Structure 1
Amino acid sequence: MSLVDELVPSRYAVQVGDVDVMVISDGVLPITASTLATNVPPADLSAWLKDMYLPPEVTDWPLNVAVVRSGDKTILVDSGLGTEFPGFPRAGQLAARLDAAGVDAASVTDVVLTHLHMDHIGGLLVDGLRGRLRTDLRVHVAAAEAEFWEAPDFSRTVMPAPIPEVLRSTAARFLDVYRGRLHTFESDVEVAPGVVVRRTGGHTPGHSIVRVESGDDALTFAGDAVFQPGFENPSWQNGFEHDPEESTRVRLALLKELAATGEQLVATHLPFPSLCHVAEAGNAYRFVPSVWDY
């Protein structure tokens, strides 16, 4: 069966005013469930996993990227895992799924990277995609992010043993390959009409989110600022967060903002297509899935 005819869809398009946004699944990768909440008793996490009908030891982590078309720009937001990690055979689908969605890699004018973890940059290192990108491609990343990965600090993360070194080596290779195409920014940058990238920090020092606004509509791609447990339990710390306390502050501020504005949210590791609204629920929040338009 071709990707065009796949039974489970891997792309979902939404209109934000005059801006086209397409969420594309890069697949899923298995993750040790304990990394979802490293600062709470295991029994609390086990109860949450059970309530969500998720397995107790290893759970699948969705990988969402986005293609945004605004004006004469076609912007790829993150690039998924890539294909060089044999332990994650169901991830790294971006190149094929761009083709299936009718998105020509050569049409991409800009790439925005929320941060330089391997599941956000690996797709750009795949020969089947890298060789098709235009020579004048602009890759936008926060200056603090590029600087951090020159000598990354994992002292406050709680990751499975092999992961930090793989993150380090993948980021180093990415910077070596794409350094000449990097366009760094300090706090925020508008990459196309209505498409603004804003550094939040927290998850990594240069972690950034992308806000799309046009007319009366708005949507935020939050990268790794919000994980699945983070609505009901925004103070739960994820093992991949390089500054857990700042990550919590960023998450709470973002959820509060989105609950107030009512705009849609997309995040990398929420269930595909991850489009949702945020609602207040006492001292926490609720994930409210957007109704699919079809």
Structure 2
Amino acid sequence: MRITRRSVMRGATGLGATFAFGRAWAAAEMDLGNLQITTLSDGHLQLPESFLIGDLPRDEARAILDAAGVAAGGYEPPCNVTLLRSDADVVLFDAGAGPGFMQSTGRLPEALAALDLTPGDITHVVFTHGHPDHLWGAIDDFDEPLFVNARHLIGRIERDYWTDPETLESIGAERQSFAAGAARRIELLGDRLETFENGDEVLPGVVARASFGHTPGHMSFEIGGGRALIAGDAIGNAHLAFARPEWPMPADQEPEQAARTRLSLQQELAEREVPLIGFHLPDGGIGRVAKNGDGFSFVSEM
């Protein structure tokens, strides 16, 4: 297994010139023989500190964040979309945020262009879950599917949750736009969107693994016979989620379930020394989990 990091530059041409001029896209790459994984930046989120700390023990949480270099007042986690290429397929895991979420996100088309790929080259889009920064980018400015030649796949439980009318009433006011936006985009995808179950081999060498809690039907994916794990937001940051995986994090919709999932995944990944690919983890999101005292730490492979 070989993991590298490189930067690619796209020139100022075409409709994307305003954003693309001079922009270097850091791409972390993992070679698994017949499978190549590249993580691409969709930009970053802009979140308040409360999104990280919430009702957690503030002094202890703030000490962990200070040690990690996270300044008080706000948080800007990266958004790493995973591209998997084989001889037959060009697969995206998640679709980024698209144009309608935050100004600091929606950069995936530029990142693909930097690798000489277009949305039309994508054969499959596989979703970890239905939050805006993962699902909304599947639909373009004209309410049409962006990846016109791709099959789209999502866990059945996750699809059913976001399309249930009761979700809008039960999710809480701060996330109601998430529910409305997910339901709308799932409707727009229509018959293009297929579902799968826990344990299904959704593509050759890609097995779905339940990692519920961040959302009710969140899925991770074992790649190449368990040689890597795409974890989505099951492990949502590189500091609190590792140092105190048992804490119920405010970013998770089902915090207690998410904490159990997070702790179990980190224990397993540390023991097996399996590479982890996380959507909001640093350095392109590729690294390993190491035991660190009573908790764990994220060790970047870059």
Measured against the shorter chain, the TM-score band is 0.7 to 0.9
Deviation at 1:37, TM superposition (A): 3.2
Change (3 A) 1:196 1:130: farther
- What's the counterpart of residue 152 of structure 1? 167
Counterpart CA distance in 2 for 1:79 and 1:208 is 15
Deviation at 1:8, TM superposition (A): 4.1
The answer to whether the Cα contact below 8 Å between 2:168 and 2:179 also exists between their aligned partners in 1 is no
Change (3 A) 1:66 1:111: same
The residue identity in structure 2 corresponding to 1:118 is P
Listed as ranges, the gaps of 5+ residues in structure 2 are: 1-10, 13-18
Counterpart CA distance in 2 for 1:200 and 1:153 is 22
Change (3 A) 1:39 1:231: same
- What's the counterpart of residue 9 of structure 1? 25
SS in 2 for 1:102: coil
Residue pairs, 1:1-294, within 5 angstroms: 2=12, 6=22, 8-85=24-101, 88-127=102-141, 133-135=147-149, 137-149=150-162, 150=164, 151-152=166-167, 163-213=174-224, 218-228=227-237, 229-290=240-301, 292=302
Change (3 A) 1:111 1:252: same
The runs of at least 4 consecutive aligned structure 1 residues that moved more than 6 Å come to none
Between the aligned residues of both structures, percent identity stands at 30
SS in 1 for 2:25: coil
The answer to whether the Cα contact below 8 Å between 1:73 and 1:192 also exists between their aligned partners in 2 is no
CA RMSD in angstroms, aligned pairs only: 2.3
The residue identity in structure 2 corresponding to 1:141 is I
Q: How many residues align?
A: 282
Counterpart CA distance in 2 for 1:179 and 1:258 is 36
The answer to whether the Cα contact below 8 Å between 1:156 and 1:243 also exists between their aligned partners in 2 is no
The answer to whether the Cα contact below 8 Å between 1:234 and 1:252 also exists between their aligned partners in 2 is yes
The answer to whether the Cα contact below 8 Å between 2:128 and 2:218 also exists between their aligned partners in 1 is yes
SS in 1 for 2:224: strand
Listed as ranges, the gaps of 5+ residues in structure 1 are: none
SS in 2 for 1:231: helix
Deviation at 1:269, TM superposition (A): 0.9
Q: TM-score, normalised by structure 2?
A: 0.86
Deviation at 1:274, TM superposition (A): 1.5
Deviation at 1:207, TM superposition (A): 0.1
Relative CO higher for 1 or 2, CA cutoff 8 Å, sep ≥ 6? 1
